Amino acid sequence: MLIYLYTTIYLGLQHAFEADHLLAVSNLVTHRNNIWKSVKDGIYWGIGHTSTIFFIGILMMVFKFQISMNIFGYFEGGVGVMLIILGIYRFLKLFSRKKNQEHSHTHIHTHTYSHEHSHSHFHEDSHDHSHHRAAFGVGLVHGLAGSGVLMVLVISQMKNALDGLMYILIFGLGSIVGMFLAAFLFSIPFAKNLMKSGKFQIVLVIISSVLCIVYGGKVAMEQFF
C-alpha cells in the first residue's frame, strides 16, 4: 500500500515537471519579488490542475460521460495558445512604463565625510499581483490538457470509481508538491534580498517569455494543424 502511495505521488511530482508546466510557472513567478508568494503560485497551480482532473474523473468514472481523445488534443492545443498569451503578456508588462521601469535613486551617505551616489534597480509594482487567480487558472487549463491519458490509465487500472478518484487526488498531491518545488527554484533570482541585479532579472524574464511563446506555438501547431 505504501509503495502504491509513494509511486502515485512520484508520478504526480514528475508530471509537474513537464516542459509546458515549468514554462508556465516560470513565467508566473517573474511577477514576484517574494519567494513565499511564488511558491503559493505553485500551490495554486497544483490545486487548479488537480481540480480539473478530478472533475473530469467524476464525469467519466461516476457518470460514465465519454470524452473523445480528439477533444483532449484540442485541450492540449489550448495550452499552447495559453503559453503564447502568457509570454506576450509578460513582455507587455516588462516594457510597460506604469508597472515596470528602471529607477535611479540618489542617496547621501555620511561617514567621515558626506557624499552622494546613485544606483538603479529592476522594479515592478506587484501590488495588484498579490492574488493567485492567474496561477489557479493556468493550472485549470493544464489539467484539461493532461487529463486524457491519465483518465485512460485510471479507468483501465482501477476496479471502481472511488479507487480511481483516490488515485487522482494522490496524483494531484504529487503535482502540487512538484510545482511547489519548481516555483521555489524559479523564484530565487527574483527574491528581493537574494539577487539585486535588475539587468539579470530582465534577461530571465525575456528568456522565459520567448520560451513560452516558441513552445506554445509548437504545441498549438501540432494539435490544431
200 belongs to a structural domain: yes
193 belongs to a structural domain: yes
Q: Could you write out the DSSP letters of every residue in 144-191?
A: HHHHHHHHHHHHHH-SSHHHHHHHHHHHHHHHHHHHHHHHHHHHGGG-
| Residue pLDDT, tens place only, 86-134 | 999 998 988 875 444 544 444 444 555 544 544 444 545 444 444 789 9
Q: Could you write out the DSSP letters of every residue in 120-153?
A: EEEEE--GGG-S-HHHHHHHHHHHHHHHHHHHHH
75 belongs to a structural domain: yes
51 belongs to a structural domain: yes
Q: Tally the domains of the chain.
A: 1
Structural domain span for residue 56: 2-96+130-224
101 belongs to a structural domain: no
| Residue pLDDT, tens place only, 161-188 | 999 999 999 999 999 999 999 999 998 8
Whether the model clears a pTM of 0.85, i.e. scores above it, the answer is no
147 belongs to a structural domain: yes
59 belongs to a structural domain: yes
104 belongs to a structural domain: no
What average pLDDT is seen over the chain?
Answer: 83
